[in-house]
Structure formats: structure tokens, C-alpha cells
């Protein structure tokens, strides 16, 4: 029962390097709708949802990096870009020293089996027409075309055992399983190819409380037994506090703060992180005691100038309204993107 947060025996180094990553989704409109009259001239204006705006992030070998933020902050988009499900608009992704975001499908293949993904919705992430056995065999067969049936069967059995799904259920279809069991099957599918890096996109948020604990434990066990590296996307800060080695807080597609978990929860620096942490409903508090934010989240179509958070921040001044803050290091291994913290205005 060794802890994750304390795990430091792994060879350090960056497994994944994300540099200057941006992802904009064009709002699909017809050509005529893009035309606008401006100052007597006809101009073509294309709008996009700016889901990620210049994110630099490293995932260290052997850690569980949690990416947190509220809905629409771009955390899931980061996960999908890293996995190659979406093409980045700008920026690069390096995996183990090799840039992977511009590789062809064929040259990406060796990396496919080293990185896997676990999805949020256990009801949509398994193909309803495939049995558990078929779903689990597929990645293995695909990446090892010569594999024998006996070996494959043993592997399915092993992995099903290790995620706590009775191997005798291998002929069943997903609809015969509960949500928690489906999520175990999803995890099993990811583990079939023995990956080293797993991106988990809100893997427990669709599950019931007692099942959340089971799945989290399973993920922690798998991490320990298989030397996995996680990138864990979630909105649930209490899970982050428990699970993460480091935490990256996102707001409107950019990073606010990046810090070791304990440091972040003990001394949050960024005003947004502070509000976020204070809003976690804790059992030992009798009344809600959270830091109030002013205003509302701006739309990612028209991003505010300067610091994206300035219209909701009580510390915002003129500099915040004009100049976008960069991540800068503060003591305790934290990196914060806030002029106020840098200038000492925010304690």
C-alpha cells in the first residue's frame, strides 16, 4: 500500500512534452453567413471556439498529472489532442523525445500501443455490439497480428482478472454489465496492449460514489503494478487531492497554475485556484464557505484581453486587463500565471 504522491523511485524525465498547444474549432457556417458589413466594406469573418490557447505542459515519467478545470476549460480537448484524436491548430506534442503530432498514421502506430485512453461515459465507450472478449481481443490482435489464440485467451483472462471482472463473463455484451463494471472493462481494454501512458478523461465522474472508490483503487493498483504514467482529466478536486502527483489548473483553455498536489491544496496561489478549492463541498464544514467569484465565464469565442480571468478576479488591475500573464515559477515548485502573484499583490 505505498502511496502515489510519495512515489519518487521512477527515473525522472518527461514522457510527454506539450509546447504552445492551441486548438480552435471553427464554427461551421456557410460562406454567406461569414460575410459582414464593416465600415461600408464587405468582410469575411470566421469565428472559432478557442478551446486551447497556448498550453505548455510536461508529463513526467511515473507521475499522475491531474488536469482540472470547469466545463469548457479545454481539459478534455488537451487529452484528445495528446491522444491524436484531434489535430492541434498550433503547437507540438513530443512523446519520449519524438514529435508525434505530425506523424502519419503508420509511423504513429508504435506510439499507439504505448499510450492508451480511458473515457468518461462507460455507457458509450464500449461498442454495444461486441462482447467483452471481442472488445479486449481487438487491440491485441491489431498490434500483434501473429498472436496465437491460446496466448490471446490467456492475456484476456489475465487482464480481466486484474481489473476485477470475472473472466467467465467474457462472452457477455456491455449492456449486461453495471456502469462500474463497464468502466473496468474499459480499463481492461486500455491495459491489453501493456501501455506505459494512460490518458483518463473523467473516468469516474459518471459513476456512483461507492463505485468511484473501486475504480480509483483499481487505477492506482494498475499504476503501481505496471509502472504507468497517468494524465488524469477531472473536474472533481477531491479526487485530485487524493490521486494526483501534480495538478494543472486550466481556465478558458490556458494554464493558471501548475503545482505539486499537496502544495496546491495547502497554498493555492492563483485567485482562480483559490476559489476552486474553497468551493469543494467538504464533509467537515457545516455551511458553504467558498470564495465568491464575480461575473460569469466569458465565451471561448470572444476571449477577453489580457488575463482571461480578469473580469472575475477581485485583484485585477489595468495590467491584468491588457497583458496576458505567463507561467512563472514561485517557491515550492509551483508555476503560476498571475501578475498579482508575481507582483505580490495576491497573497
Partner 1 sequence: MALLEVRGLEVRFPMRQGELTALRDVSFSLDKGERLGIVGESGAGKSVAAFAILNLISRPGYISNGEIIFEGSDLAKMNARQLRSIRGNRINMIFQDPMMTLNPVLTIGTQMIECLRTHMNMSAGQAREKAIDKLRQVQIPSPEERIDQYPHELSGGMRQRVVIAIALLTDPSVIIADEPTTALDVTIQAEIMELLLALCENSDVALMLITHDLGVVSQVTQRTVVMYAGRVVEEGPTRQIIENARHPYTHGLIAALPERTNPGMRLNQIPGVMPSLAAIPPGCSFHPRCEHAMDVCRSELPDYVMDGGFRVACHWVAHREQQP
Partner 2 sequence: MTRYWHLFKDSALLYSFGRDKVAMASFSVLLLLVLLSFSSPLIAPFDPYDPAGIDIMDSDIPPSWQEEGDPRFTLGTDAQGRDMLSTMLYGTRISITIGFFAVLLQSVLGILLGLAAGYYGGRIDAFLMRLADIQLSFSTLMVAIVVLAVFQASFGTELYNDLAIFMLILVIGIAEWPQYARTVRASVLAEKKKEYVDAVRVIGLGSRRIMLRHILPNTLSPILVISTVQVANAIMSEAALSFLGLGMPVNKPSLGSLINSGFEYILSGSWWITAFPAAILIILVLVINLLGDWLRDVLNPKLYKD
Site string for partner 2, 89-128 (x = CB under 8 A): ----------------x--xx--xx-xxx-xxx--xxxxx
* Residue 292 in the binding site for partner 1 (CB under 8 A): yes
Return d(Cα 71, Cα 73) in angstroms, integer: 6
* Residue 32 in the binding site for partner 2 (CB under 8 A): no
Give min distance, CB of 143 to partner 2, in A: 7
| Residue found by looking up cell 487482464 in the block | 159
- Indicate which of partner 1, partner 2, none lies near residue 242 (CB less than 5 to 8 Å, by partner kind): partner 1
- Indicate which of partner 2, partner 1, none lies near residue 126 (CB less than 5 to 8 Å, by partner kind): partner 2
* Residue 193 in the binding site for partner 2 (CB under 8 A): yes
Pairing mode, strands 197-201 and 115-118: parallel
* Residue 80 in the binding site for partner 2 (CB under 8 A): yes
Q: Can you point out the beta strands (E) in the chain?
A: 14-26, 35-38, 41-44, 48-60, 64-68, 90-95, 98-99, 115-118, 197-201, 229-234, 246-251, 254-260, 328-330, 334-336
Among candidate residues 96, 109, 84, 90, the one with its CA nearest the CA of residue 17: 96
Site string for partner 1, 130-169 (x = CB under 8 A): ----------------------------------------
For the stretch 298-331, what's the b/e string if a residue is b when 16 or more beta carbons lie within 10 angstroms of its beta carbon? eebeeebebbbbbbbbebbeebbeeebbebeebe
Q: Which three cell numbers stand for residue 118?
A: 480511458
**Among residues 119 and 265, whose Cβ is nearest to partner 2?**
119
Residues that bind partner 2 (CB under 8 A): 80, 83-85, 105, 108-109, 112-113, 115-117, 119-121, 124-130, 138-139, 142-143, 171, 173, 186, 189, 193
Amino acid at each position: 500500500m505505498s502511496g502515489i504522491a510519495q512515489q519518487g523511485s521512477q527515473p525522472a524525465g518527461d514522457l510527454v512534452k506539450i509546447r504552445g498547444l492551441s486548438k480552435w474549432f471553427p464554427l461551421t457556417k456557410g460562406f454567406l453567413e461569414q460575410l459582414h458589413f464593416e465600415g461600408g466594406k464587405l468582410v469575411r469573418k470566421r469565428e472559432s471556439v478557442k478551446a486551447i490557447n497556448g498550453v505548455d505542459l510536461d508529463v513526467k515519467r511515473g507521475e499522475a498529472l491531474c488536469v482540472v478545470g470547469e466545463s469548457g476549460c479545454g481539459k478534455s480537448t488537451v487529452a484528445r489532442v495528446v491522444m491524436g484524436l484531434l489535430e492541434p491548430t498550433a503547437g507540438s506534442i513530443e512523446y519520449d523525445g519524438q514529435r508525434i503530432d505530425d506523424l502519419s498514421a503508420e509511423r504513429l502506430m508504435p506510439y499507439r500501443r504505448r499510450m492508451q485512453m480511458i473515457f468518461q461515459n462507460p455507457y458509450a465507450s464500449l461498442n454495444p455490439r461486441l462482447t467483452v472478449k471481442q472488445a479486449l481481443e481487438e487491440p491485441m490482435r491489431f498490434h500483434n497480428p501473429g498472436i496465437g489464440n491460446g496466448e490471446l485467451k490467456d492475456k484476456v483472462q489475465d487482464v480481466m482478472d486484474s481489473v476485477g471482472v470475472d473472466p467467465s463473463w467474457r462472452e457477455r455484451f456491455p449492456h449486461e454489465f453495471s456502469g462500474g463494471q463497464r468502466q473496468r472493462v474499459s480499463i481492461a481494454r486500455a491495459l491489453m496492449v501493456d501501455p506505459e501512458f494512460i490518458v483518463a478523461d473523467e473516468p469516474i465522474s459518471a459513476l456512483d460514489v461507492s463505485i468511484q472508490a473501486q475504480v480509483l483503487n483499481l487505477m492506482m493498483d494498475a499504476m503501481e503494478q505496471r509502472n504507468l504514467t497517468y494524465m488524469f482529466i477531472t473536474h472533481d478536486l477531491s479526487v485530485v487531492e487524493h490521486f494526483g502527483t501534480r495538478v494543472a489548473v486550466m481556465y478558458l483553455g490556458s494554464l493558471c497554475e501548475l503545482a505539486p498536489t499537496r502544495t496546491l491544496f495547502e497554498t493555492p496561489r492563483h485567485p482562480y485556484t483559490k476559489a476552486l478549492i474553497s468551493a469543494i463541498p467538504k464533509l467537515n464544514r457545516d455551511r458553504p464557505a467558498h470564495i465568491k467569484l464575480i461575473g460569469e465565464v466569458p465565451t471561448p469565442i470572444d476571449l477577453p484581453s489580457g488575463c482571461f480571468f480578469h473580469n472575475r478576479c477581485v485583484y485585477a488591475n489595468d495590467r491584468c486587463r491588457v497583458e496576458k500573464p505567463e507561467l512563472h515559477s514561485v517557491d515550492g515548485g509551483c508555476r503560476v500565471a498571475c501578475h498579482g502573484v508575481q507582483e505580490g499583490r495576491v497573497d
